[in-house]
Amino acid sequence: MIRPSSPFPTKIVLANLTSLLAGFSAWQMLQTAEKLGIAWQSSKTWLALLGGLCLLALASLGLNRISLPFKKPSLPTWAAAPLWGLTLLTYPLILLLPTYGKLIRGQEATRLLVFWLAAVLGAFFLQRLLRLAYPAALGIHLLLQAAVYLTLIQLLGITNYPFALGWSETSRFYYPSLFLSQNIYAQKLPLPILHPSLHLLLTPPYLVNAPLWAHRAWQIILRLGLVGWIAPALLGRLKVDSAPWRAAAGVWFFLTLFNLPLYLHLAPPVLLILFGFSAKDPRRTWLFVLLASVWAGLSRINWYPVPGMLAAALYLLQTPYQRRGWRYLLPPAGWVITGALTAFLAMRAYIVFSGIPNPANFYTSLTSALLWYRLLPNATYALGILPGIALYSLPMGAVIGAALARRQIHPLRVGLLLAGLATLLGGGMLVSVKIGGGGDLHNLDAYAIALLLVCAHLFFGKYTPEENLTPPQEEKRITPHWALLALLVAIPVWLGARANISLPPYASAESQQTLRALEQELNTIHASGGEILFITQRHLLSMKMITSLPLLPEYEREELMEMAMAGNQTYLDTFKEQIREQRFAAIVVDPLAFNLLGSDYEMGEENNAWARFVIKPVLCNYSASTLYQNDRIAIYLPQTEPTCP
């Protein structure tokens, strides 16, 4: 059992943090009232709210002067368990309230205050259930509460709403159908250009003609299952002997992965390395590195070397140098180089079988513009890539620094580990500043996975030190200060608690009416012999929610956006020419408006690429015939006299 080097100052933390959050919350609420034009001095509701927050802030400061009972409560287990479960759900339930929940969601300090108070109470019940000291119970409960919140956000996406809930959702449903195009569309269609491995994983619901809600459920369960599986897989390698530490570490791994977030199709290569790497069986390691590299090749170009680099990190952690010279470097170098080459060849083989005539369409990310300002706080990502990844890395970096400072590992091993992390960090930043990226930290996923791997092994002492550098009987595990443990909990919990939550809007009768009206109008147009292009909402065809309409495979929204951001002139010229010739009798897409935005707007450059290369050609030659504003769907028909916006 790992114990902190000094006791946790429970009373000081509880009192001061509660007071700080309550004070900031009152200040933010005052600002909100002024923005809304509310005379809070004459409003009983606002006076009660502000007064309650101020009273809580002052009362919390007073706790510093009194004794608090942190002994295990005498509450019976049968009562403590449901009360503890309720505290885990308190935060999301309050945020989902129709009126006050919306108000709280917009106030950072108030959100954190609600989260914190629920955790302080829940820790008392967990203390009774697990027979832990209160600080340990508080840390575990904070992690669990954040994990439950993130999980609930995912599960709320399971709905039978017939139209896409977000920009990319319809693409996530449409592209998997291309692997079964002969059965679904009665024609052989080219395979997806973007993220083949992701869409392959999302194919199974089509095998059983599943409804839309089942597709959403499959995607969410797969994400929770695959990404979440990394936690027990890593724990299996670490062999943590203490049950509370296993639980805390497992939930911490889960939070760390979902705070990125790690995309579900990138979990398999990580799992293959965690399960397949063996310091004692090189053939087993080679097999799993090659398998993981094939999958990485079908996933993302910046992941080509990642399986080999993860295996190399485990090798450096578990294999002493022992003055072996250049021979020590052969296995990790072989895995990285061979793995990257295998990934490249796997993608080239996929391109051959994809049916896409132009291989350059698969490498559009290499020509995308770089938006360096997104490294710092901006409208697209409030934290900014540099501050965001620095904050994300801070607790793990502190653990790595504390462990390496003990000098139990040869400098060559340390240097190679740090060089690998730096390489992945630099590559992730480069991908993040490309147009289309930088909205969160997910493009730094390879770096984050490697950082997690190294941090976990060093924290739990699961590495092999150099015999000539380690004094006899010296413990490999670090003895963390309570401040380091608090940091390890606070950062992922805070990042998780900041995630947005909402109930998907769904007026069932109205949406079904929209679907039927849309189908009727499109069938009428098609009956006259016209071609209909679905830029969006293609899942309506793939899932047979609209029948009797053939699919035109060209110009799906995500692919069209990718080509617009990359400036693929050949592709875009063809699109523009076909729109100018009014090839399509109708176009189904979101309502279009030509607006150019600056970098001070969220995704401003992405908006401008879409506006210039897609919206403008369409609006020059087509006009909106029918708008379904509540469901954000429009039908555009050819203009008799083209006019441009």
Per-residue model confidence as pLDDT tens digits over 70-117: 555 567 777 889 999 999 999 999 999 988 888 888 889 999 999 999
- CA-based Rg of the chain, rounded to a whole angstrom? 27
Q: Do 343 and 210 have their domain in common?
A: yes
Q: What DSSP designation does 628 have? A: E
Distance CA 172, CA 192 (A): 11
> What is the Cα 557 distance to its own chain's centre?
21
Does residue 492 sit within a domain?
A: yes
* pLDDT confidence of residue 366: 85
CB 447, CB 428: distance < 8 Å: yes
Q: Which two tokens stand for residue 296?
A: 């990485």
* pLDDT confidence of residue 4: 64
Considering only CA atoms, which of 8, 311, 308 is closest in space to residue 132? 8
CB 297, CB 343: distance < 8 Å: yes
Q: Do 583 and 460 have their domain in common?
A: no
Is residue 523 over pLDDT 80?
A: yes
Is residue 472 over pLDDT 80?
A: no
For tokens 């992965």, name the residue.
257
Considering the chain, what is the average pLDDT of its residues? 91
Is residue 468 over pLDDT 80?
A: no
Q: Do 126 and 220 have their domain in common?
A: no
Task: Please say which residue of 93, 120, 155 terminates a domain.
Answer: 155
Does residue 141 sit within a domain?
A: yes
Cα distances (Å, whole numbers) of residue 272 to 208, 219, 311, 333: 28, 20, 10, 19
Distance CA 1, CA 475 (A): 12
Q: Do 345 and 492 have their domain in common?
A: yes
Tell me the per-residue pLDDT of 375-401, one tens digit each, with 9 for 90 and over.
999 999 999 999 999 999 999 999 999
Does residue 425 sit within a domain?
A: yes
Q: Do 62 and 192 have their domain in common?
A: no
CB 497, CB 111: distance < 8 Å: yes
Does residue 4 sit within a domain?
A: no
CB 174, CB 555: distance < 8 Å: no
pLDDT, mean of residues 554-569: 94
Distance CA 8, CA 116 (A): 17
Q: Do 482 and 566 have their domain in common?
A: no
Considering only CA atoms, which of 121, 160, 163, 158 is closest in space to residue 138? 121
Q: Do 69 and 114 have their domain in common?
A: yes
Does residue 369 sit within a domain?
A: no
Is residue 506 over pLDDT 80?
A: no
Considering only CA atoms, which of 312, 611, 334, 310 is closest in space to residue 447? 310
Tell me the per-residue pLDDT of 248-300, one tens digit each, with 9 for 90 and over.
999 999 999 999 999 999 999 999 999 999 999 999 999 999 999 999 999 99
Of 298-302, 321-325, 541-545, where does mean pLDDT reach its minimum?
A: 321-325
Q: What DSSP designation does 366 have? A: G
For tokens 């993302």, name the residue.
300
Q: What DSSP designation does 302 have? A: G
CB 317, CB 420: distance < 8 Å: no
Q: How many structural domains compose the chain?
A: 3
Distance CA 142, CA 139 (A): 5
DSSP string, 77-128: HHHHHHHHHHHHHHHHHHHTSTTHHHHHHT-HHHHHHHHHHHHHHHHHHHHH
Distance CA 587, CA 82 (A): 53
Query: Band of the pLDDT at 215, cuts 50, 70, 90?
Result: very high
Q: Which two tokens stand for residue 527?
A: 């009956």
Tell me the per-residue pLDDT of 397-418, one tens digit each, with 9 for 90 and over.
999 999 998 888 999 999 999 9
Q: Do 474 and 515 have their domain in common?
A: no
Q: Do 223 and 86 have their domain in common?
A: no
487/58: higher pLDDT? 487
Query: Band of the pLDDT at 359, cuts 50, 70, 90?
Result: confident
Task: Please say which residue of 155, 190, 224 terminates a domain.
Answer: 155
Alpha-carbon dihedral angle through residues 228, 234, 236, 239, given to the nearest 10 degrees: -130
DSSP string, 480-511: --HHHHHHHHHHHHHHHHTS---PPP--HHHH
Distance CA 503, CA 96 (A): 7
Does residue 643 sit within a domain?
A: no
Distance CA 509, CA 613 (A): 36
Q: Do 297 and 404 have their domain in common?
A: yes
Strands 586-589 vs 532-534: parallel, antiparallel or unpaired:
parallel
Q: Do 144 and 188 have their domain in common?
A: no
Does residue 474 sit within a domain?
A: yes
Count other C-beta atoms under 10 Å from residue 606's C-beta: 22
User: Residue 570 burial (CB < 10 Å; 0-12/13-18/19+)?
Assistant: exposed
Q: Do 312 and 380 have their domain in common?
A: yes
Q: Which two tokens stand for residue 4?
A: 């902190």
* pLDDT confidence of residue 48: 87
For tokens 């992922």, name the residue.
492
pLDDT cut 90: percent of the chain above it: 71
Task: Please say which residue of 90, 122, 155 terminates a domain.
Answer: 155
Is residue 29 over pLDDT 70?
A: yes
Does residue 242 sit within a domain?
A: yes
If DSSP codes are grouped into helix, strand and coil, which group holds residue 589? strand
Q: Please enumerate in sequence order all residues whose Cβ is within 8 A of that of 102, keeping only pairs 6 or more positions apart, or say none.
A: none
Query: Band of the pLDDT at 549, cuts 50, 70, 90?
Result: very high
Distance CA 28, CA 112 (A): 12
CB 90, CB 118: distance < 8 Å: yes
For tokens 């061979």, name the residue.
338
- Which residues form the domain of 90? 10-155
